Amino acid sequence: MISAALLTPYLDTIIALVLLYALLSILVSILLEAWNKRIKLRGVFLQKVVYRMLDDPLNHNYGHLIYQHPIINAMRRDGNSYPHYIPAEGFANALIDVLAEQAVTLRYEAREDGTYAGVRMGAEDPLQVRLNKGVDGMAESELKQLFRNFMDRHRSAAGVVDVDGLKLELGRWFDGNMERAGGEYKNDQKHKLVFLGFLVAVGMNVDSLHLTRMFLLDTDLRDRMVAEADAVAERYTAEREALGTDSMATLALMRSMGVRHDGVVTDSLLRIAAQRLDTAERRALADAEAVVEHVRSWQLPLGWNTADAPLSWFCDPRPVQLPEGARPSQRAVLRHLQERNTPKAWSILQWLIGIFITGWSLSQGAPFWFEALVKLINIRRSGVKPQTTDERQHR
């Protein structure tokens, strides 16, 4: 049984913050992919990995030849870009063709009319024969030895290479390199995630310390956020069990969260992330706006306005009048806002710390925060169910 200490507003406050971080992390991801798309980073990075795999200073530039192969070349979106994704089967087919093509020589023969025609010598040989000749004709190198090892594992007693088995072997080799490159790509993107996390934190004025205090003091706001978090965690868990990965579960979950945008329920949030690798740059802006709209629908105390810090520090303060019969929690919220909106060193330091916490948190990625949300909701469910605001008022 969970101790009573956890069944307090503090756990619910943490849950509300984690839900907000998860959603805004989606916005960071959209901005990152939009920027990467603009500079064609994914295609360039994939090309670098393929070139590195096939680097052989003693033989042909196989990376270049792979990218010139019709199978890979057809994956380009235009003449100024590289494919963002290459399937393992396509890579294996293209590489085998490139290696076998080394056994083919081009000879020009004179015609009766005085012109010359190119004749591909050796092109009529079976693929297995051309493949053997092509690899055998390479200068001795580590890459040649690697290709020989691959082929020997699929060579019959008669010396014939099983091309289908070799394709599977080359596909596994390619996938292994792509998995390692995936970690490298994420590390390369980390500093961008941090920058964009702080950009979103400042751009939307998401002060984590201020939000924490507001969630603690405003029971209505906290209850709404926890109810939303409970539903999100349940859907996320179901998607993760069905799809098997936290990233795909995040995409599926957010696709199911309709967002009311301009009065219309859209597919949103990761209609958003699910399509962010395939849409044009102008769509990225619309996707980002849909995420922001969803956050606004929660009526959270964030954003820039002259009545709230830090802009309020440079404007004349406007006293807030509470209605008669205001609850103690409402009075506590007012005292907090008046103190925060006072331009003094402690208020400025708190705002800076709050922005820093938000920026760092958003750089951790949406799957991280959704996983954390599920764990927190499970902790909350394992104890006695906390009372809602309505239940507390009718006691």
Higher pLDDT, 216 or 295: 216
Backbone angles phi, psi at 105, to 5 degrees: -115, 150
Residue 274 reports pLDDT greater than 60: no
Q: How far is CA 143 from the centre of its chain?
A: 33
For the chain, list the strands marked E by DSSP.
105-110, 116-121, 259-261, 264-266
> Position of tokens 């609850």?
327
Rounded-to-integer distance, Cα 394 and Cα 145, Å: 79
Residue 3: which region, alpha, beta or left (left: phi > 0; alpha: psi -120 to 50)?
A: beta
Highest mean pLDDT among 69-73, 74-78, 389-393: 69-73
34: Cβ contacts below 8 Å, ≥ 6 apart: 276, 281, 284, 285, 288
Measured in degrees and rounded to the nearest 5, phi and psi for residue 205 equal 55, 55
What residue segments make up the domains of the chain, in order of their start? Answer: 4-39+189-393, 41-178
Residue-by-residue DSSP string for 97-109: HHHHHTT-EEEEE
pLDDT band for 159, please (50, 70, 90 cuts): confident
pLDDT > 70 fraction of the chain, expressed in percent and rounded: 78
Predicted structure pTM score: 0.63
What local confidence, expressed as pLDDT, does residue 184 receive? 79
The model's pLDDT over 107-151, given as tens digits with 9 standing for 90+, comes to: 777 777 778 777 778 788 889 899 999 999 999 999 999 999 999
**229 or 184, higher pLDDT:** 229
Interatomic CA distance for residues 370 and 372, integer angstroms = 5
Residue 293 is predicted with a pLDDT of 72
Q: Is the pLDDT score of 307 beyond 70?
A: yes
Q: What is the mean pLDDT of residues 238-260?
A: 60
What is the reported pLDDT for 239?
74
pLDDT of residue 258: 42
Over the stretch 348-389, which tens digit does the pLDDT of each residue have? 999 999 999 999 999 998 889 999 999 999 988 886 555 555
Q: Mean pLDDT across the chain, nearest whole number?
A: 80
Which phi and psi angles does 161 have, rounded to 5°? -85, 130
